[in-house]
Amino acid sequence: MVVTDVAGPAAGGELPTGKTRDALRAAHLYYLQDLTMDAIAKELHTSRSSVSRLLSHARATGLVEISIHSPLDLPSRLEQEILERHEVSAHVVPVPDHASDVDRLERVALSAARILTRFIDSNQTIGVAWGSTMSAMSRHLAPKATHNSEIVQLNGAGNLRTTGILYASELLRRFGDAFGARVQQFPVPAFFDDPATKEAFWRERSTRRLLDLQASMDVAIFGIGSPFAEVPSHVYQGGYLERADYQALSRDGVVGDVATVFYRADGSTDGIALNSRATGPDFTVLRRAPRRICVVSGQAKLPGLTGALEAGLITDLIVDEGTARRLVERSVDDLGSDRAD
């Protein structure tokens, strides 16, 4: 790949004739002045096709940002109710009820990736978990230029079969690329075999450095793991957990996990043995991040989602319409017994 942009062949040259410059100008003419691509082609002395490509480039690289604001007086009733009941700012993604789970995930991830843009800024530490939701999201991120931001892996991804590095690092790299941020990997297994090993490891200075970063996150982004759903999450298929682990989780009444840390329906984590071997951040650490974005798709994750809400892990929720609807209906049923169980 040859550098043909940013400063052009000769930095400091007279005519900074970069592709990005043209794209910027085309975007201005197209989106701000409503010219047709044909007209723009003439102004730029090129063909209409090239203008079409320039505009694609402009959108793909985040030069153009398209955002949607619901008028403040009518946020979708679902979002309104979720806000009232859970004190969480919700973004409901419209998806037809009959969509397949795969479609649904894909579309929520696409929307989430676009929405995410507005939360990302310069000089931020951004914690990122992994899993099928995050992976889908990473493939659709709308780039946004930032300075001095940092992507931090929230939990290890190694398992019995692979180091998980390829998978997780690819995912993180996409986040890093999209926002021009440095990437801090966390090269540990998802679960240690022995809690003692984890503790030892946690005392290592290189590990501490990463944990410190996690503790000072500005934004955390994660999905919800649902170990007992009919379609188990990625984490539960890849050889991360053994049969005995499942039984233990079941006994403990676990309904889900965030970054491989497990919790019950009431949001509690105490006494869940597996957590002492998990590598994700303790919820007290996670909750330090002022913004905690959770992306959820599919009703199978509903129990996990409500648990995470109970645990106060979420400040911003991106969720598909069907699941949001169930969430609200369910909350209605619970009214009064809300804090009782």
Partner DNA sequence: TCTCTCCCTGCACGTTTGTTCAATCGGCTT
Partner DNA sequence: AAGCCGATTGAACAAACGTGCAGGGAGAGA
For residue 288, which of 208, 213, 188 has the smallest C-alpha distance?
Answer: 213
For residue 95, which of 324, 273, 328, 340 has the smallest C-alpha distance?
Answer: 324
189 DSSP 8-state letter: B
Output the smallest distance, CB 137 to a copy of itself, in A: 13
In the range 143-202, which residues lie near a copy of itself by CB under 8 A?
144-145, 147
Provide the mask over 88-117, with x wherever binding to a copy of itself is found by CB under 8 A and - wherever it is not: -----xx-x----------x--xx--xx--
User: What residues does 264 pair with on adjacent strands?
Assistant: 254
Contacts of 64 (CB under 8 A, 6+ apart): 27, 31, 55, 58
Binder among 48, 52, 62, 330 for a copy of itself (CB under 8 A): 62
Distance CA(337)–CA(341), nearest Å, equals 7
Distance CA(291)–CA(28), nearest Å, equals 32
From the list DNA, a copy of itself, none, partner contacted by residue 37 (C-beta under 5 to 8 A by kind): DNA
From the list DNA, a copy of itself, none, partner contacted by residue 18 (C-beta under 5 to 8 A by kind): a copy of itself
Provide the mask over 38-77, with x wherever binding to DNA is found by CB under 7 A and - wherever it is not: x-------xxxxx-xx-xx---------------------
From the list a copy of itself, DNA, none, partner contacted by residue 340 (C-beta under 5 to 8 A by kind): none
50/61 with CB nearer DNA: 50
Alpha-carbon 132 to chain mean position: 10
Provide the mask over 12-41, with x wherever binding to a copy of itself is found by CB under 8 A and - wherever it is not: ----x-x-xx--xx-xxx-xxxx-------
274: left (phi over 0), alpha (psi -120 to 50) or beta: alpha
1/68 with CB nearer DNA: 1
5/282 with CB nearer DNA: 5
Output the smallest distance, CB 279 to DNA, in A: 38
Distance CA(142)–CA(221), nearest Å, equals 15
Distance CA(188)–CA(197), nearest Å, equals 11
The number of CA neighbours under 13 Å toward the Cβ of 124 is 23
Question: Cβ(125)–Cβ(150) under 8 Å?
Answer: yes
Q: Which stretch binds DNA (CB under 7 A): 36-44, 128-136, 172-180, 296-304?
A: 36-44
| Contacts with a copy of itself, residue ranges (CB under 8 A) | 6-7, 16, 18, 20-21, 24-25, 27-29, 31-34, 43, 58, 62-74, 76-77, 93-94, 96, 107, 110-111, 114-115, 144-145, 147
